[in-house]
Structure 1
Amino acid sequence: MSGMARHSYLCPIRWSDMDVYGIVNNVAFLRYLEEARVDFIFRMAPTEGDAFFRDGSVVVEHRIRYRRQLVHRHEPVEIEMWVSALESATVAIDYVVRDGATVYATASTVMAPFDYRLGRPRRLTDAETRFFGKYREDSSPAAG
């Protein structure tokens, strides 16, 4: 099932993201992925996107493979993302951080919907499953 929809986010690079060597710090990449993920999830119908955050979700796992150093510049970097796994209580989102053919990092985040009111994991709603299903592809760049 490849070639489905992907979401693309243009992420600005901030001066404060750099380390003393002028290279974007590895921790900044986690913030970039979070920004991209929030932008992606808010593409759900407004009430559904709200629900995923309001009713709760937690990050279960992050994997990042750094491929090339990213230095500060004025142009944003592109973060392309899709859903690589979708189960009843988890969703895995894969990413490529790139400029055209130049890949800076590949990554994956596993998220679980969480009911903060009850203090326990919950299942994805039908609306969440439908939304994430539109972006489902069988691939995992962070594994390679």
Structure 2
Amino acid sequence: MGADTAMARHSYYCPIRWSDMDVYGIVNNVSYLRYLEEARVDFIFRMAPTEGDAFFRDGSVVVEHAIRYRRQLVHRHEPVEIEMWVSDLQSATVAIDYAVKDGDTVYATASTVMAPFDYAAGRPRRLTDEEIRFFEKYADGTPAAG
């Protein structure tokens, strides 16, 4: 990747549910994991069958989550934007970073490390060339959760 190559980011607009709030009226920290999962599934489903959808079809697992809460998010009718990009791509893992935000207002930053997994064999596998090509389109070494 060239230094002057602009990389794509993916945005998902996630609704905030009444049940996501805690007793203080703010979105509960556990709800963020569900938001990130929804966003991640929406992002990875962009990987068309011709580009190697095996990441979901053949299996993948979450290896690690990191979330940094930056400000309180309260219930409202408008969805919150979750911007995503790939911050690290290895032969057998991909790190997807997120910014949960409204414009310049960032509520949380996060990172999820995922690994492709062969459930039939019961072991991790390497990313396919098609999966690598898909994730490379969103590669940006900027970590979000740090």
The TM-score bracket by the shorter chain reads over 0.9
Return the match for 1:122 from 94, 118, 125.
Answer: 125
Trace 1:1-144 onto structure 2 (pairs within 5 A): 1=3, 3-46=6-49, 48=51, 50-143=53-146
In structure 1, distance between residues paired with 2:90 and 2:45: 20
Alpha-carbon contact 2:14-2:79 (below 8 Å) kept = yes
Alpha-carbon contact 1:80-1:95 (below 8 Å) kept = yes
> Gaps (5+ residues) in structure 1?
none
* Aligned residue identity for 1:40: F
Q: SS at the partner of 2:66?
A: strand
In structure 1, distance between residues paired with 2:52 and 2:45: 5
- Taking every aligned residue pair, what percent have the same amino acid on both sides? 83
Structure 1: which 4+ aligned runs deviate by more than 4 Å?
none
TM-score by length of 2: 0.94
> Gaps (5+ residues) in structure 2?
none
Alpha-carbon contact 1:41-1:49 (below 8 Å) kept = no
Deviation at 1:53, TM superposition (A): 1.1
- CA deviation profile, 1:53-101 (whole Å, cap 9, x unmatched): 1211000000000000000000000000000000100000000000001
Alpha-carbon contact 1:42-1:49 (below 8 Å) kept = no
In structure 2, distance between residues paired with 1:138 and 1:119: 31
* Aligned residue identity for 2:91: S
In structure 2, distance between residues paired with 1:5 and 1:66: 24
Deviation at 1:47, TM superposition (A): 5.3
Say how many residue pairs are matched: 143
Deviation at 1:46, TM superposition (A): 3.3
TM-score by length of 1: 0.95
